[in-house]
Structure 1
Amino acid sequence: MGTEGEAAQRFLEEFVKEFPNPLGPEEPLPLSPLSSTVSPAEVQGESLDLALRLLRARNAPPALGAALSHAAVSELLKSDLSSFHTSPAPEQDCDLLKSEPLQRSFLNRLREVCSAWQWEPPPVPSRRRYLLTSSHAIRNTRRKMEDRHVELCDFDRLLGLQDNTERAYFAVFDGHGGVDAATFAATHLHVSLGQQEALRSDPAMALQKAFAHTDDLFREKAKRDRLRCGSTGLAVLIEGERLHVAWLGDSQAMLVRQGQAVTLMEPHKPEREDEKRRIEDLGGCIVFMGCWRVNGTYAVSRAIGDFDQKPYISNEADCKTVPLSGAEDYVLLACDGFFDIVQPQEVAGLVLEHLQQSGGQGVGAAQSLVARAKSCGSTDNITVLLVFLRDPQDILREAAAGGGRQAETQPPEFVFFRDNGESGQMEAVTAETSRSTGGKAEEGAKEQSQ
């Protein structure tokens, strides 16, 4: 048994020792569920969230934790959940399930899987693509922390996808008016993505449908829990030799390729000409109140939630696809608390400086970037998620050798999917088309208070 297999077996042995018996009906859960009640459509996401939090807190090997979580939730979803139903209130559109007894049953299934795998953990396939994540998030000077982020290097294993494609998923959500929308999106968007039939044939379309579906699910939760909040959404799916990025709002992703910044997206801000026109065509307006706001309210023009301003605040995600050649250094995802202060063209130099100071250790790069934004005046919540696509040591060696191979001066061709405004279908637009129609990102930083 290799090192990974030995680590998995050690973890399983320790887990079974910690939980030698099933949790009884009155025993407290080892950690709290996200919600007191859930709809049937929310069971998978909330259960996976609970399992991942529990297993990560005990340092489970990531691939094993994803496989355990999937196996346990599959057993739960095959069972009869009727005993967990609450008495429906008159305003409820569907029966709800009581989270605590439901998750107790789920954790008992997780324990059973660990016990069954204890002596023979499933094999862990070798990852074909290099991935190393570095993430850091701080509340900063804000009263509450309303950001959430997700790192799923083992997306396929967590969602039970079995094909020859290797996928990894990363996301950042920046909440406003409360954290509930960001938490909901961080819990359910990747689950919805894994359920999309289009995922294998058209990942960009699958991402867009997953955003809309997550917003629809949150509408039901917001209605029953009387929530008034929203969240930007930014998701990156690395699928084989392609990178897909989908977004709502002003959190941003950027790619660095051999030290050169590659623009992946243009954030949704109310003052963007196409967004301003879309909102005005719907009968809304853009008002300047310290910054440009939709109908004098929100400083982003697309988001999950914000149902009091739908459809002016749209849930239609934009998506771009970039081919990966193997020369890419990393992709960075961050909220506006970072990008309002640090310009994209500064990022490559800041990351290289960190690698030089740390001897090529990439795990602390995100913390270094967050510290830079804070020291330069950011007062907002700050979240930075950095995904290295090459070994940071190689990046450092190439920089020391004068850059190694000739750096690209032009961004790779990408495909941008947008609503054509007539049939309601999505159309593909190349980078050149986007540039010729005026799709140019704004320069400079503008403070966006949400």
Structure 2
Amino acid sequence: MHSHSETEELFSFEVSNYCANELHKMVAEEWDKGTDEDGWRKRWEVALCNAYGRADGAFKDKSLAPYSVGSTASIVILSPCHIIAANVGDSRVVLCRGKRAIPLTVDHKLEREDELARIRDKGGRIVQWGCLRVEGVLSMSRAIGDHGLKPWIISVPEVTFTPRTEDDEFLILASDGLWDVLSNDVAVRLAREEFRYQRRQPKKDDTSSHPPAINVAKELLKRAFTAYTCDNVSVVVVDLKLPRRRPHQKF
């Protein structure tokens, strides 16, 4: 999520909340419309791109939010064999595999030469205003919303497919409020330590106890604020060590 003034913060929350509540439904609808004619990867790419486009298109209606606000959006789809990640903006998805931190998305920042060239090719200006910004306003190159900066700011997600392994431990999905103050390696190390601590705790029979992943996310949130992050922070942790159904073996 991002905004350009405090008065627009509420509207920016509206965009991010809309994405949180509706984007996954759009992905499911777009998947159902597709076929495997061009392969399952292509079907997922089309479904995700169409869903992001629909969410972005909703904010052409100015009654929902001003054209000056928008949101990042990250999605992860888990199959028994693959991790599918999609992202626009500077939120990030990081996989812990063994002790290693593996980013599954690449931030849409203006430090990326490919993104910089795309914007300039369309006539957009890049202005140094504290950091590189499109038209002196936005410091990222893709987002949902921000219709005042079209066609330079696009909502097309980059999609990655990562085969799952037995060494995969967890995923961290977080906004730049976390990644601005914690590196991928540090965030994964802290999360692994918190997972070990949580799993050593005696199990409670009552329904009030949280799964370890929730407490790990809370710990990362706390660490971000302890490190004096200057941005809002959203964190989701997905435990990949939970039992999962195996695909049926075909002979």
What TM-score do you get using the length of structure 1 for normalisation?
Answer: 0.46
Tell me the residue number matched to 1:381: 232
Shift of 1:179: 1.5
Distance 2:8 2:152 in 1: 26
Segments of 5+ residues of structure 2 without an aligned counterpart are: 202-211, 244-251
Residue of 210, 223, 227 corresponding to 2:62:
223
Distance 1:226 1:234 in 2: 20
Tell me the residue number matched to 2:28: 194
Alpha-carbon distance change, 355 to 192 in structure 1, aligned in 2, over 3 angstroms:
closer
Contact 1:193 1:199 in 2 (8 A): no
Contact 2:91 2:107 in 1 (8 A): yes
What is the number of equivalent residue pairs in this alignment? 220
Tell me the residue number matched to 1:183: 17
What is the one-letter code of the residue matched to 1:190? H
Shift of 1:225: 4.2
- 5 Å matches for 1:403-442? none
What is the one-letter code of the residue matched to 2:133? R
Distance 2:49 2:167 in 1: 27
Computing the radius of gyration from Cα coordinates, the structure with the larger value is 1
Residue of 221, 234, 247 corresponding to 2:74:
234
1:323 matched to 2:163? The reply is yes
Contact 1:233 1:251 in 2 (8 A): yes
1:211 matched to 2:41? The reply is no
Residue of 82, 92, 99 corresponding to 1:252:
92
Distance 1:332 1:292 in 2: 27
Alpha-carbon distance change, 199 to 378 in structure 1, aligned in 2, over 3 angstroms:
farther
Distance 2:155 2:22 in 1: 15
Contact 2:95 2:104 in 1 (8 A): yes
1:337 matched to 2:193? The reply is no
Distance 2:144 2:155 in 1: 6
Contact 2:108 2:115 in 1 (8 A): yes
What is the one-letter code of the residue matched to 1:208? C
What is the one-letter code of the residue matched to 1:231? S
- 5 Å matches for 1:59-208? 178-196=12-30, 197-198=33-34, 201=40, 202-208=43-49
Tell me the residue number matched to 1:311: 151
Alpha-carbon distance change, 291 to 207 in structure 1, aligned in 2, over 3 angstroms:
same
Shift of 1:364: 0.9
What SS does the aligned partner of 1:287 have? Answer: strand
What is the one-letter code of the residue matched to 2:158? D
Contact 2:176 2:233 in 1 (8 A): yes
Distance 2:194 2:223 in 1: 11
For residues 150-189 of structure 1, the C-alpha deviation after alignment (integer angstroms, 9 at most, x for no partner) is xxxxxxxxxxxxxxxxxxxxxxxxxx86222112212221
What is the one-letter code of the residue matched to 1:288? Q
Percent identity between matched residues is 31
Distance 1:232 1:300 in 2: 9
1:351 matched to 2:183? The reply is no
What TM-score do you get using the length of structure 2 for normalisation?
Answer: 0.80
Alpha-carbon distance change, 298 to 177 in structure 1, aligned in 2, over 3 angstroms:
farther
Alignment RMSD (CA, Å)? 2.4
Contact 2:11 2:66 in 1 (8 A): no
What is the one-letter code of the residue matched to 2:229? S
Segments of 5+ residues of structure 1 without an aligned counterpart are: 1-141, 147-175, 393-450
What is the one-letter code of the residue matched to 1:286? I
Tell me the residue number matched to 1:293: 133
What SS does the aligned partner of 2:194 have? Answer: helix
Tell me the residue number matched to 1:276: 116
What SS does the aligned partner of 2:189 have? Answer: helix
